[in-house]
A and B are shown apart, each in its own frame.
Chain A
Amino acid sequence: MHLAYPAVLSALLFCTGLYGVLARRNAILVLMSVELMLNAVNLNLVAFDIWLSRAAEDTLHSGQALTLFTITIAAAEIGIGLAIVLAVHRNRGTSDIDRLRDTAEGHDPDHDSPAAGQAEKAEATA
């Protein structure tokens, strides 16, 4: 198999996940996009490991071992990430990352009009 097939697919999947991370507003959808990016990296690791295990007679199988580690870390990451998102949702009533701007620098319109901010949060809850 030509090595470009998995490499190109991996690059495209990574950029799809990149778009999702940048464009999505819901925190859980952002986590899904992060999963896509991690999977793209995994595909790259597996493809290059299969290639090197023959071409360079590499017997360490480092790519596949690293893929297993990445999958495990991704599972841990999704657990922690969902716990954080649920805690934020419990406290704020929203998981919309565009509205979680309390630590943002500069001008924040929410702080100027707290009534409007409360109305927004009530709207997000409903």
Chain B
Amino acid sequence: MSLAAAAVTAHAAGTHALAAHAAPSNGSHGFLSPTGVEITFLLVGLVTFGAALVTVTTRQLVHAALWLVVALGGLAVEYLLLTAEFIAWVQVLIYVGSVVVLLLFGLMLTRAPIGRSPDADSGNRWAALAVAAVAAVTLVWVVVDAFRTTWIDLDGPAAGSTEATGESLFQNWVLPFEGLSVLLLAALVGAIVLSRKAKAEPGSPSVNSGAATGSSPSVPDSRNHPIGRNGASEGTGSGASEGTTPAEQEGAR
């Protein structure tokens, strides 16, 4: 999360990250005669869409995260094709770099099974498929009908270069930018508070109330886990998020 702010500020303060992206000039627009950029966009888009489909349908949880990398990287290439260079590199840094790593950490910390898990999809899969298909048909129809005669002009200097984005961001969007830093701070504090073990407050129901019935089968191995015990006593970071102290478990019971 702090990586996001750091990346944004570092890049915006920097100079040109890339030279202007070359786009072939096309004088006349044709719907059925796509240019090279359009063909490239289409191919990368197919890869991205296929990776997204595999992400939501595969039964191997870790593979879903890895296919998500392909989808997000494909989207970064699409941003480059749209001459939005700064967004593309921010996408690579934050999504591929940190979000997917966080997701993989989450998968491993929740002891996701390696290999196929037959219950990855819930029972309402067909209803979900129907809803998604109807939404897709509707959205695609509306979008194609609305923008049938609209072309993006990709010639000239890149509209999304670091210079243009930085000027716009720090001339017109300073206040939202600073507000966003406050939001990141709030998210940081919130994540720490959530992942820290609750100090043994007698009678505080907190999040443990529902677990009181099933606590003994659910947390036996974290009790025997030395890292969890040490981390909980020190109250630091990920170690504390892994285990709970024996005293708190007594309280939960």
Contacts and interface: CB of A to CB of B under 8 A. Distances in A.
A91 B195 CA distance: 12
Given A12-B140, A68-B169, A90 B219 contact: yes
A64 B84 contact: yes
Given A16-B52, A50-B83, A74-B99, A28 B61 contact: yes
Interface string B42-69: 1001001100110110000100110010
Contacts of A20: 55-56
Given A12-B136, A23-B121, A93 B218 contact: yes
A8 B190 CA distance: 36
Interface string A27-57: 0110111011001001100110111011100
Contacts of B72: 35, 39
B172 interface: yes
Given A32-B68, A117-B213, A24 B56 contact: yes
A29 B61 contact: yes
Q: Is the interface of A mostly helix, strand, loop or mixed?
A: helix
B120 to A, nearest CB: 6
Contacts, number: 319
Contact of A14 (B82, B139, B222): B139
Contacts of A85: 106, 110
A92 B177 CA distance: 38
A22 B127 contact: yes
Given A23-B124, A50-B159, A80-B190, A3 B195 contact: no
Interface string B98-135: 11001101110111100000011111110111011101
A21 B187 CA distance: 23
Interface residues of B, number: 113
A64 to B, nearest CB: 5
A3 B147 contact: yes
Contacts of B78: 6, 9, 43
Nearest to A122: B217
B110 A86 contact: yes
A86 B195 contact: yes
B126 to A, nearest CB: 9
Contact of A36 (B52, B131, B188, B242): B52
Contact of B75 (A3, A7, A25, A42): A42
A3 B135 contact: no
B87 A67 contact: yes
Contact of B121 (A25, A35, A94): A25
A39 B103 contact: no
Contact of B152 (A3, A68, A121): A3
Given A23-B124, A121-B214, 13 more contacts: A1-B38, A1-B152, A9-B49, A23-B122, A35-B99, A39-B95, A50-B82, A75-B94, A76-B183, A85-B110, A92-B210, A121-B217, A122-B214
15 contacts: A1-B81, A1-B151, A18-B135, A24-B120, A24-B122, A25-B121, A32-B65, A33-B56, A35-B95, A55-B153, A71-B4, A89-B109, A89-B110, A92-B214, A121-B218
For the complex of A and B, 9 pairs with smallest distance between CB atoms: A93-B218, A22-B128, A20-B56, A76-B187, A19-B132, A61-B168, A122-B217, A15-B136, A11-B139
